[in-house]
Amino acid sequence: MDKRPFEASLLKLERGRKHIVDFMAVINAYLKSGFFKLSVDSDPQGTSRLRLEVNTPLPRDVPLIVGDAIHNLRASLDLAVCEAVTLANATRNTKFPFAATENDFRNLLKRDDGGLKEHCPKIYDYIVNEVKPYKGGNDSLYGLHELDIVDKHKLLIPVVSIVALNGVSAEDDRGGSFTGLNIFINQNGTFNLVRDAAKLKITNYGKARFEVVFDQGHIFEGKPFVPTVNELANKIEVIFNEMEKRL
């Protein structure tokens, strides 16, 4: 039976997806571990403030899983170009081309496209004119390339963000009560509950809702990790399908 085009690339892509599943298993266990604490503070103006603090760091292998997922997705693109050109005709520069700007991208291909234009002109045209793997052309795909480079120099550490508490109940020292509150937490981990002189006591902290997001300093900053990486994997699979049509 003939081997399917881009089989190695698809295997690498599926391995990246497997890392996402592994990531979720580790994160779900962490979220059930009681990794945060809640307290009520009062300021001189009488505002009671609910404060959330993370007291347990993420498991140490989380950044490694994140880096492996990113690398597998990025490497699958290089494999696809090598498979298209075929190893017999590939050069050391046969890889999926990326550049910071459109001008840099076109200059890169002029210098050496790794044999892509000669051996696979339709795929070459597709990458240049439709995929556009550079800033301003395909920002999310370029962001993947950028993250893969960053991971070679430092660990990619996602951030656990508590975004809401559902079903909170409280009572104050004047006999007042609050039940079934759904509270959305500020970015600094606090929420103002009441604005009077009453002292507040939380009787039920409810159920916390979390997001695991990319840390600061790159194109995906603040975006939820799993949906973002899954979207990238789906986008790459579409690219492989389109490349296959052009073989």
215 class by beta-carbon count within 10 Å (0-12 exposed, 13-18 middle, 19+ buried): middle
246 class by beta-carbon count within 10 Å (0-12 exposed, 13-18 middle, 19+ buried): middle
pLDDT category at 46 given cuts 50, 70, 90 is low
Contact 90, 114 (CB under 8 A): yes
pLDDT reported for residue 123: 95
- Indicate if the pLDDT at residue 150 is higher than 50: yes
pTM of the model: 0.83
Beta-carbon contacts of 53 under 8 Å, excluding residues fewer than 6 positions away, are 36, 37, 38, 39, 189
pLDDT category at 196 given cuts 50, 70, 90 is low
pLDDT category at 1 given cuts 50, 70, 90 is very low
pLDDT reported for residue 186: 61
**Gap between the Cα atoms of 81 and 116, Å rounded:** 7
Indicate the average pLDDT of the chain.
Answer: 85
